[in-house]
A and B are shown apart, each in its own frame.
Chain A
Amino acid sequence: DIQMTQSPSSLSASVGDRVTVTCRASQDIRNDLAWYQQKPGKPPKRLMYATSTLQSGVPSRFSGSGSGTEFTLTIASLQPEDFATYYCLQHNTYPYNFGPGTKLEIK
């Protein structure tokens, strides 16, 4: 199975900051990576898939890049509603796997 890691596991930042989260796969997954945002008590929400294709309605301050085994999620200018936990998911090979998550907190 393909294993996913994320860094950092948590991150403190301020409104307006630019932040980057990294996700690594244990083997080549081409560009088959999605990013999810989850707020407490709510189901996750997909931000993008295929590394950089934004889900409909997701603000353009969110972007993704990478290929193969290393990927990044960038939030260009943090907004108050962006403080949440972020997960990557490889959708290249079954069984799919999520990364362990990155908790983004207000500094």
Chain B
Amino acid sequence: QVHLVQSGGGVVQPGGSLRLFCAASGFTFSSYDMYWVRQAPGKGLEWVAFIRYYETTKSYADSVKGRFTISRDNSKNTLYLQMNDLRAEDTAVYYCTGADDYWGQGTLVTVSS
């Protein structure tokens, strides 16, 4: 059975950093492109970042470019999102997703002083 289990969310002050984790199981993680998608409270979906299955190709939404870094460790079946210089507008539930439309459970990131 496929699982994407997320961790690493929480409350952080503006300008701070957080790292999100997405642990995959039940499918061949190293064969699939992976993504992060977020949703601010009461708002729509926002595509955040992408990483190719072989790691070297990445893309970011303009709103996070230069502040967020997506990465993966195929030996650990884990996807990461390093978030630096966080702003209030980054407050959202963050989802990892990929493969045949598998989704993590979501993790809340709150940026507040």
Contacts from A to B (Cβ < 8 Å):
1, 36, 38, 43-46, 55-56, 85, 87, 89, 94-101
Majority SS of interface residues in chain B?
Answer: strand
Which one, A94, A98, A100, contacts B50 given CB within 8 A? A94
List 7 A–B pairs whose Cβ atoms lie within 8 Å, in order of A's numbering.
A1-B62, A43-B106, A55-B101, A56-B100, A87-B45, A95-B59, A97-B47
A8 to chain B, nearest CB (A): 14
For A46, list chain B residues within 8 Å (CB). 101
For B106, list chain A residues within 8 Å (CB). 43
Contacts from B to A (Cβ < 8 Å):
35, 37, 44-47, 50, 59-62, 95, 97, 100-101, 103-106
For A101, list chain B residues within 8 Å (CB). 44-45
A81 to chain B, nearest CB (A): 18
For B35, list chain A residues within 8 Å (CB). 96
Which one, B46, B59, B101, B105, contacts A98 given CB within 8 A? B46
Closest B residue, CB atoms, query A99 = B44
11 more A-B contacts (CB under 8 A) besides A89-B45, A101-B44, A101-B45? A36-B45, A43-B103, A43-B104, A46-B101, A55-B101, A85-B44, A94-B50, A95-B62, A96-B50, A96-B59, A98-B37
Judging by beta carbons under 8 Å apart, are A96 and B101 in contact?
A: no
Which one, B50, B62, B95, contacts A43 given CB within 8 A? B95
Judging by beta carbons under 8 Å apart, are A43 and B97 in contact?
A: yes
For B47, list chain A residues within 8 Å (CB). 89, 95-98
Instruction: For the complex, give the distance between the alpha carbons of A96 and B35 in Å.
Output: 10
Judging by beta carbons under 8 Å apart, are A38 and B45 in contact?
A: yes
For B59, list chain A residues within 8 Å (CB). 94-96
